[in-house]
Structures are given as C-alpha cells and as structure tokens.
Structure 1
Amino acid sequence: MSAYLVLKHLHMTVAYLTVVLLALRLLLDAVGKPDWRQTPLRWIPHANDTILLVAAIGLLFVTPWMPFVHGWLTAKVFLLIGYIVAGVFALKQTVSLPVRIAASVLALVQVTAIFHLATAKPF
C-alpha cells in the first residue's frame, strides 16, 4: 500500500474520531456529567488531534496540494482554526451556557464544512 493511501486512511479515521470525541464531550456536558474532565477523555482528543495533524502534514509531502495555492485546502485551514477556537469555547466551563451552545453549533458546522471540502475539493 502506498504512503498516500496509508496517510489518507489514517487522516480520515482520526478526523472522524475527532468529531466523535467532541460530540461525546459536548453530550456529557449537556447531560450534566462534567466529571469527564478527570478521565482519559480529557487528553485522548489531544493525542488524536496530534496524529491528525501529523497525517495532514505527511499528506502535504506526498501530494501536490499546497495550502494557500489550492483554494479548498486554504479554506480547510481557516475552518480548522475556527473549529479549534469554537471548540475551546464550547467546552470551557467558565463560559455562559448560551455562548457554549452557540460555539458548539459553530464548531460542528465548521467541521461539516471541512469534511465537505475534503471530499468535494470544489475549488
């Protein structure tokens, strides 16, 4: 199997896992179980996201795609930054509930757009 296929499948798998882990943490907060913060669920998403980033960088080395040259990839980078910021606000206990809900929705919308760009590569 080529390096591209290995990196692509690794990247896709951990990207899906990233969304599942975010949704799980948001759900646990929503049902009043914030004690997930004292479990491995606190650090596992960070390890997963590190693997995601390493796979993405690896894909840049084995493909001709370059951020700031290919529009869809540039859009993904900016959406990723927005997703990270929104996710931080969505999971922060010191932020008001309405802000956390809005940030949660925004994070999920942005990750949906990232997935769309990754599959469609529209521009």
Structure 2
Amino acid sequence: MEAYPLIRLVHMLAAYLTGLLFVLRLLLDLAGQPGWRQTPLRWLPHVNDTVLLAMALSLLVLGGWQITAHSWLALKLLLLLGYIAAGMVAMRPRFDLPARALAAGLALAQLTGIYYLAVSRPAF
C-alpha cells in the first residue's frame, strides 16, 4: 500500500497530460499545421495513455476498488470509452471539419466528466 500515493500521482499527471496533448493536437490541426503527425506528437499520447491505464489498473488492485460497487467508477469507464471513440473521429483528417469539431467537443466534454468523477466520486 506504500506505493499507492506514488501510483496515484503518476496516474493524475498522466491524466492531465492526456488532456493537454489532446488539446494541443486539436489546436495544431485547427491552425492548419498537420505536420505534427510526423513528430512524436503522433505516438506520445498513446504511450502516455498506456501509462495512464496501467496506473489506473494498479490503483484498482491496490485500493480494492470494485467497478460494480462504485457506480462513479463504472460511469468513468463508460466516459473513457466514449472519449476514445470521439477522439478517434476528431483526430482523423478523413472526416470533414464539422464532424471533427463535434467529435472534439464531445471528447472534451467526456474528458471533463472523467475529471469531475475522479475528483468528486459522487454517490448515485
């Protein structure tokens, strides 16, 4: 249990970095700078999200959290899946700009919901 605070800190940092990298890539696309796709910005979010997921699973195991017993955690997982789907559409240049903008807004809203649930842990 001594590792729990460190794992939680790494998880939180990776979560904030996820949002930052997503917004950065959106802004670069919006500014007409698709060259980021040939830089580490193309794969860095995937590495970060792998760390984020590994830390989340570690927290589940070490903290004894149960998705079925904590409805906020189940909702967080559903929002995560929605964020991934919307983020995929938002980042794909083959979709038209209105579809990508709508997907980006949806992804950001879901990310905000995930952050809210992580901080407040409301009882439903």
Residue equivalent to 1:85: 85
Q: Give the match's secondary structure for 2:24.
A: helix
**Does 2:72 correspond to 1:63?**
no
Root-mean-square deviation (CA, aligned residues, Å) is 1.0
Q: Deviations over 1:79-119 (max 9, x none)?
A: 00000000000000000110000000000000000000000
Inter-partner Cα distance in structure 1 for 2:69 and 2:35 = 44
Q: Give the match's secondary structure for 2:73.
A: helix
Residue equivalent to 1:107: 107
Q: Deviations over 1:55-85 (max 9, x none)?
A: 0000011112111221000000000000000
Residue equivalent to 2:44: 44
Q: Give the match's secondary structure for 1:72.
A: helix
**Does 2:25 correspond to 1:25?**
yes
Structure 1: unaligned runs, 5 residues or longer: none
Q: Aligned letter for 1:70? A: H
Q: Aligned letter for 1:107? A: A
User: TM-score w.r.t. structure 1 length?
Assistant: 0.97
Inter-partner Cα distance in structure 2 for 1:45 and 1:91 = 12
Q: Aligned letter for 2:114? A: I
Q: Aligned letter for 1:9? A: L
Inter-partner Cα distance in structure 1 for 2:93 and 2:68 = 35
Aligned-residue sequence identity (percent) comes to: 50
Q: Aligned letter for 1:3? A: A
Inter-partner Cα distance in structure 2 for 1:69 and 1:44 = 33
- Aligned-pair distance for 1:2? 2.0
Paired residues in the alignment total 123
